[in-house]
Amino acid sequence: MNRAPQSSALPQSAALRSFAAQWQKRPPDSLSPLRDAAMRRFLELGLPTTHDETWRYTNLRALAAHSFVDAPRAAAAVEPHGSLPLLDASDRAACLTLINGYPSLPPSNEGIDGIEINTIRELSNLDPQRLQHYLSASDADQQRWVLLNTALFVDGLYLKITGKVAKPLLILHVATADGADAIAYPRIIIEAAPGSAATIIEQHVAQGAHTPLNNSSAHIALGRHAQLEHYRVYASGAGATHFDSLDIRQDHGSRCRQFTIVLGGGLVRTALEARLDKPGASLDSYSLLVGHEDRHVDCVNIVTHGAPDTGSHQTARAIAGGTSRVVFNSQVIVDAGAVHAQSQQSCRGLLLSPTAEIDTRPQLEIHADEVKCAHGATTGRLDPDMLFYMLSRGLDRTTAQSLLVYAFLADVLTGMSVAPARAAIESALIAQLPDSQTLRKFR
């Protein structure tokens, strides 16, 4: 098979050339036709630019000048929590660790009640059709990095939730590299069988002096009346770059609660695409986006109501300090025929410094009758009336300001049903605010 790109699609940037070089070195496998198609398409399209609708506020020009190599398969040693301990061993069903996307699974005799765990490699042998179903990505600009992931991921995690799992399952994504300019391609598939119920927390942590670019992609499919609470939490340092894409498909009456929590990372881009294709499916999505120093956070959510009586609630809270920039793009599409769909989008931004920037864009596209859709977006500074009220009661200015920031995020925090994870996330948030000593007493 000729795997060289055609001359018309010769990669223009160092990054694209390095991705093409990685692709040429991959040994063929059962997914090769699919991977080749994805890679060719990716090379044709190139890296997203600010001309692409969902990349308007995130410029990748600096990144394009780098040549990337594969991140290593293993780390010298793995810290059990990274920098942010979300769940103690007693609070979780299990912890699965992926190093740069490579799963290290517990021995098969240590199974978890209600969850079947496999690698994607195993799935490609057991049920290649099922795997291919998840790997087909569209051309849409928010899917650009998914195409690259499809072409280049080596292994990943496949979870099937078969029953009601009482404790949350933690998936720890460890990103680590020996040198600069490594890239990792984590891939995860989560299937929730009809009637199952579980909570899954994906936590992305960086370890060591060098952090690879993390191009991760996850798929979640909920069967009839399945219930899932899913978290993706980013708490890496300023050197970390994440491009994460999550797609969610929901069957009849299924209920998904999804939390995207960005507390760290230098450049974090998260995409969520959800399809509510069967009647009665509902999705609550919560985004907590924290920008500080010169960080850049870009979150795009696209929710499509494809069936009657579907519901979606989106709650996004963004705060930005320093010279950081936080972008929240949210689009709700109600297809023709999705009668009695209900959707709410609440996006609020809080600017903590005159040099920070927040861009929120809630959009609504309705092709059906008898729907109830609402959206609202506000961005501003701390309310001077609230601040004055607290000062007039004798509170320190820093305490009052931090309390107001914390209160601003409460709508997302109170939605979390995993108490220890919520407490850890609150602590991490508070630690980023001034006067954290006093604030801890308010919890």
Partner 1 sequence: MLKITGLSARVAGKDILKGVDLTVRAGEVHAIMGPNGSGKSTLAQVLAGREDYEVTAGSATFEGRDLLALAPEERARAGLFLGFQYPVEIPGVNNVYLLKAALNAKRKAAGEPEVDAYEFLALIRQKMKLMQMSDSFLTRGVNEGFSGGEKKRNEVLQMLVLEPKLAILDETDSGLDIDALKVVSAGVNSLRDPKRAVVLVTHYQRLLDYIVPDQVHVLSGGRILKSGDSSLAKELERRGYDWVQGAEVA
Using the rule CB under 8 A, is 384 a contact of partner 1?
yes
The crossing angle, in degrees rounded to 10, of helices 144-152 and 32-45 is 140
Q: Are the CB atoms for 157 and 145 separated by under 8 Å? A: no
By CB atoms closer than 10 A (0-12, 13-18, 19+), residue 125 is exposed
Residue 301 near partner 1 by CB under 8 A: no
Give the shortest CB-94-to-partner 1 separation in angstroms.
34
Tell whether residue 438 is a contact of partner 1 (CB under 8 A).
yes
**Amino acid occupying residue 366:** I
Residues 248-287 that bind partner 1 (CB under 8 A): none
Kindly state the smallest distance separating residue 424's Cβ from partner 1, in Å.
19
Residue 354 as a binder of partner 1 (CB under 8 A): the answer is no
- Of 332 and 405, which has the nearer Cβ to partner 1? 405
Q: Measured from the CB atom, is 135 or 261 closer to partner 1? A: 261
Number of residues that bind partner 1 (CB under 8 A): 27
R_g of the chain computed on alpha carbons: 21
Does residue 132 sit in helix, strand or coil?
A: helix
Q: How far apart are CA 311 and CA 305, in angstroms?
A: 8
Secondary structure in 3-state letters for 65-109:
CCCCEECCCCCCCCCCCCCCCCCCHHHCCEEEEEECCEEECCCCC
When asked if residue 382 is in the footprint of partner 1 (CB under 8 A), the reply is: no
CB-wise, 50 or 378, nearer to partner 1? 378
Inter-CA distances, 283 with 196, 252, 255, 256, 276, Å: 16, 12, 6, 5, 8
Binding mask 385-414 for partner 1 (x = CB under 8 A): xx-xxxxxxxxxx-xx--xx-xxxxxx---
The nearest distance, CB 440 to partner 1, in angstroms, is 12
Point out which span in 103-111, 141-149, 291-299, 380-388 binds partner 1 (CB under 8 A).
380-388
| β pairing state of 325-334 and 282-291 | unpaired
Q: How far is the CB of 297 from partner 1 (least distance, A)?
A: 21
Chain residues binding partner 1 by CB under 8 A are: 383-386, 388-397, 399-400, 403-404, 406-411, 438, 441-442
